[in-house]
Structure 1
Amino acid sequence: MTELREPPEAPGIRTARRRYVTVCALLWLPPGLGMASMVLLFGERGMSLAAVAGLFAAHSLTVAVLELPTGGLSDFLGRRPVLAMAGALNVVAFTLVGLGTTAWVLTAGMVLMGAARALASGTAEAWYVDTVQAHSGPDAELRTGLARGGSATSAALAAGLLLGGALPWLLGAGSDLGARLSEATSGAVLPLSVPVLLGAALRVVFVCYVLTVLREPPRPEATLRSVLRGVPVTILGGLRLGGHDALVRRVLLTAAAVGSALAAIELLIPGRTVELTGAPGSGAMVYAALACAGFVCNGVGSHLAPLAARIAGSGERAVLVCLVTGAGGMLLLGLIATTTHPLATALAVVGFCLLYLGIGAASPNQNDLLHRRVTSAGRATALSVQSLALQLVGALAGLVVGALRPGPLPWLLTGAVLLFGALLWLRRVETRSAPDTTITPGSRAGMS
């Protein structure tokens, strides 16, 4: 009796998956490097806490303003040129932030960084889905590659966070190399600058890799007139999709719910670690270690996403189960928010890890469903709308959480929002494929 086996995977799909994973790692390693040192670097440059908040606000506002236009640009011009532009802008941005000593130079760096973040948002994922569907058609298996890309992203952030925190310490503790470096560059390069400048160098590698390795189907030649006319049409199409398609609407509402949970984590966990350790310095170290653990759990969750879908029976059921798991982690954090007992602290770590594990496993499954609902001509725009929903609701939730009194309420409120996002997936929606998932020369699907 012949044993039934799944058909072998096409070499082109394996190559696309490997390149996508590499792009994800190169894309997110530099932000991880800067995450540990950037706030402290701004302080060393003489920026007040209010000024530092203003610099990050400039970055966030730039991302929000450009999220949809750059998604439309990616759908119109192509993935490779937009990713290369994002990398080139980041080279300049990280250099300005690493070497800048005045407020206007640092602001320019953060604005350029925000523009690059918007350009890169969803573009690599759109390239991967386009490539796989070009090889195997609209029903191609996407979840495995999306899961591995999510794992690579989380691993890069975690590795960058550890390396970015260790480099300034190695250059400043027990070594005069940092002092020599600062003296040789007339104070332009501090030990805290090194991770950011290393990030700029890695962005050069990223640009070279994108231009050399990523291939995509040829697109019609773009002119300034066609861009000005086509990008707004693509953006409007992406916005209308969320209003007309129930499954896409669920994806967007889920992104908003996840944004509220992450906003609460980012605002409340640092204070809790300081409360636990009794000092800001040690609290910051604990928070960095906890953030690294969160990225690891997020990566593990992404890796387990295909398994979750098989066990749950479908991608929709997997999203439901995973988001309920994440909401359980948030509610657990709320229940023990008023105590620093060792057992409560251990449970808080468990809740934190459950949140990141749950949203990590949910993301590839819901994006797999999303990509079957959109065409190649609007794929990056749809991902940008999803990202914008997460960011805007996260910003609003941050304001609400900041206005509430410390205690269980902020945790329970945002946990309830995440649970609501999970319960949206109780009812099954027909998972049809988009009618057209390719772009051929001389035509642009979805833009007529």
Structure 2
Amino acid sequence: MSAPPTAAAARRAYLVVLALRWLPTGLMVPIFVLLMTGRGLSLAEVGVAAAAQGVAIVVFELPTGGLADAIGRRPVLVLSSLVATAGLALLLVADDVTTFALAWAVMGVYRALDSGPLEAWFVDAALAAEPDRRLEHDLTRAGVVLGLSLAVGAVAGGALGAAVAGRDGVAATEPLTAMVAAALVLEVVHLVAVLILVRERRPARGLGAAVRAARATPTVVRAALDVMRRDRGLLALLGVEVLWGVGLTGIERFWQPRAAELLDGAVDDLFVLGLLGAAGWLAHAGGAALLPPLLRLVGGRTEWAAALLRILQGAAVLGLALVGGFTGLVIAYVAVYVAHGASNPAHEALLHRRVAAAERATVLSANSLVSQGSGALGGIALGVLAGAAGIPVTWAVTAAILAAAAPLYLVRGTPRAARISLPTDSDRRPTAPAGVTAGPGEQQ
């Protein structure tokens, strides 16, 4: 059996796999709604198809998180990538609401499988190598990589779609199909990276061990649920995720149609959509890089930084609601994702400090479950509101929902307080692995 990785080596592998995991998603960002409407679905049918993903996530999230804790992170990561490949293949050929719903349900299973194992693998490997390692910087760097990967994917996808659309005799849906096909190829590359880079030490091997570990999943899930029930602080963090899930759905579901309104319907320009999507995710990366100085500003109190960021994100969404032109939309949209990028590592660091390694992937899955479940239900309600009152009013409600989550970060819970101190200059050692104290260091 190979030696366990150093914390620096684990971080390098984590960031490479993370980047490849989000590239295919970046390609899909500009065309999520357009792919379905371009193939004949109404906006109501788009809502039904998208809801299938949320249902699948709710059904599979906790069991698959427990499976990762039971049989290991690497096998579940491999399985999740295979499921994603199948889902993208279905999206490639889907042409009615039933097939799209099936495709998004498969992608929901993928999201459930994918929500915890990679980050849990890295955190466990890093803390095994360095028990006192400060995770904020690593998670911040991961947020930067995630945002850059999504941005690169969005721009590349938009450029690919525009290039295909520029050819003579091309059907209206062919550029969208080309972008899905590219995402499918990149998902296969991601699978190869998982097989090569994610190494895990487990006490037993073989099919029998996998079956025994899989049977242990309900026990692991019950243990994690018991942790949540006993820790008010952890429950409060999950409450944040409920409100955050609704808020994020309100942003992501309506930016394309709102851009169409402000551009007089010119949103069929895939390159413009790609650039706007990339701007948001570059802002996400920049926001992640801003977390360390913000932590210094609040004296290392991660919970206070997280609460402040939730209020700032709500204010930025209110800006989206109030602006009347495309330039203002872009500025507010970027501000939303700056706050989002800084919020992710802060929230994740607070979450990790409240759980032990044995329940880590399950609790991360619970965090994702409440976000996706609330997002699916909230998306339906916000869709009705948008149809009745318009997108600006819907965004004003979304802003209030996001800001309402801020006080939940200050719930103390158990004596294991959710406070993570930031390293001072005197704490830093010249021999520390690169990136531990350098500032920039997810996921949804």
What TM bracket, shorter-length normalisation?
0.7 to 0.9
- What does residue 304 of structure 1 align with? 290
Is the CA contact 2:87–2:106 (under 8 Å) kept in the aligned structure 1? yes
- Who is 2:261 aligned against? 275
The alpha carbon displacement at 1:240 in A equals 2.8
Tell me the distance in 1 between the aligned counterparts of 2:317 and 2:98. Answer: 39
Larger deviation, residues 386-395 vs 261-270: 261-270
Tell me, yes or no, if structure 1 residue 207 matches structure 2 residue 200: no
- What secondary structure is seen at the aligned counterpart in 1 of 2:68? helix
1:140 aligns with: 133
Matching of residue 233 in structure 1 with residue 222 in structure 2: no
Corresponding residue of 1:59? 53
Counterpart AA for 2:26: G
**C-alpha contact 2:256 2:267 (8 A) present in aligned 1:** no
Counterpart in the other structure of 1:172: 165
Separation in structure 2 between the aligned mates of residue 352 and residue 49 of structure 1, nearest angstrom: 22
Unaligned 5+ runs, structure 1: 1-9, 183-188, 434-448
Residue 251 of structure 1 aligns with which residue? Answer: 237
Partner of 1:185: none
- Tell whether 2:394 aligns with 1:401: no
> Partners of 1:359 and 1:36 in 2: how far apart?
18
Report if the CA contact (8 A) 1:328-1:354 is conserved: no
Q: Does structure 1 retain, via aligned residues, the 8 Å contact 2:158–2:272?
A: no
Give the TM-score normalised by structure 1: 0.81
Could you tell me which of 138, 150, 157 is aligned with 2:150? 157
Letter in 2 for 1:164: G
**1: CA distance between counterparts of 2:384 and 2:104?**
27
> Kindly tell me: are residues 416 and 52 of structure 1, through their superposed partners in 2, closer, same or farther at Cα, counting changes over 3 Å?
closer
Q: 1:197 aligns with which of 181, 186, 211?
A: 181
Inter-CA distance 225–218: structure 2 relative to 1 (3 Å threshold)? closer
Could you tell me how far apart the structure 1 residues matched to 2:72 and 2:93 are?
32
Q: Distance in 2 between matches of 1:244 and 1:165?
A: 47
Q: Call closer, same or farther: CA 1:356–1:39 in 2, change over 3 Å.
A: closer
Q: What is the rounded CA distance, in whole Å, between the counterparts of 1:332 and 1:107 in structure 2?
A: 33
Alignment of 1:28-39 (within 5 A): 28-37=22-31, 39=33
Question: Any unmatched runs of 5+ in structure 2?
Answer: 419-444
| 2-structure distance, mates of 1:11, 1:17 | 9
Q: Which residue is equivalent to 1:6?
A: none
**Could you tell me whether the CA contact under 8 Å between 1:274 and 1:283 is conserved in 2?**
no
- 1:16 maps to amino acid: A
Please say if 1:327 is aligned against 2:311: no
CA distance in 2, matches of 1:236, 1:359: 31
Q: Which of 261, 265, 271 lines up with 2:251 in the alignment? A: 265
Contact 1:122 1:384 in 2 (8 A): yes
Distance 2:93 2:31 in 1: 13
Cα distance per residue 1:208-232 (max 9 Å; x no partner): 2212221122134564653453212
By relative contact order (CA 8 Å, sep 6+), the higher-ranking structure is 2
CA distance in 2, matches of 1:347, 1:43: 26
The alpha-carbon deviation at position 15 of structure 1 amounts to 1.4
Aligned to 1:413: 397
Provide the secondary structure at the position in 1 that maps to 2:409: coil
Distance in 2 between the 1:89 and 1:220 partners? 25
Q: How far is the alpha carbon of 1:356 from its aligned partner?
A: 1.6
Summarize the Cα distance change of 1:201–1:285 in structure 2 as closer, same or farther, 3 Å threshold.
Answer: closer
Q: 2: CA distance between counterparts of 1:211 and 1:203?
A: 13
TM-superposed CA distance for 1:100, in Å, is: 5.0
Aligned residue pairs, count: 408
C-alpha RMSD of matched pairs (Å) = 3.0
Question: Is the 2:47–2:380 Cα contact (8 Å) retained in structure 1?
Answer: no
Determine the C-alpha separation between the residues in 2 that align with 1:271 and 1:46: 16
Question: Percent of aligned positions with the same letter in both sequences?
Answer: 33
SS of corresponding position for 1:424: helix
Q: Deviations over 1:72-113 (max 9, x none)?
A: 111111111111111122223222322456766555443332
1:95-152 Cα distance to aligned partner (Å, 9 max, x none): 2322456766555443332222211112111111010011011x32111111111221
**1:45-124 matched pairs, under 5 angstroms:** 45=39, 47=41, 49-99=43-93, 106-124=100-118
Residue type at the aligned position of 1:311: L
Alignment of 1:345-360 (within 5 A): 346-360=327-341
Q: Residues 152 and 414 from structure 1, CA distance in 2 versus in 1: closer, same or farther, beyond 3 angstroms?
A: same
Stretch of structure 1 that moved more, 209-218 or 123-132: 209-218
Would you say the 8 A contact 2:5–2:125 is kept in 1?
A: no
Tell me if the contact between 1:264 and 1:401 (Cα under 8 Å) persists in the aligned partners: yes
Larger Rg: 1
Change (3 A) 1:219 1:199: farther
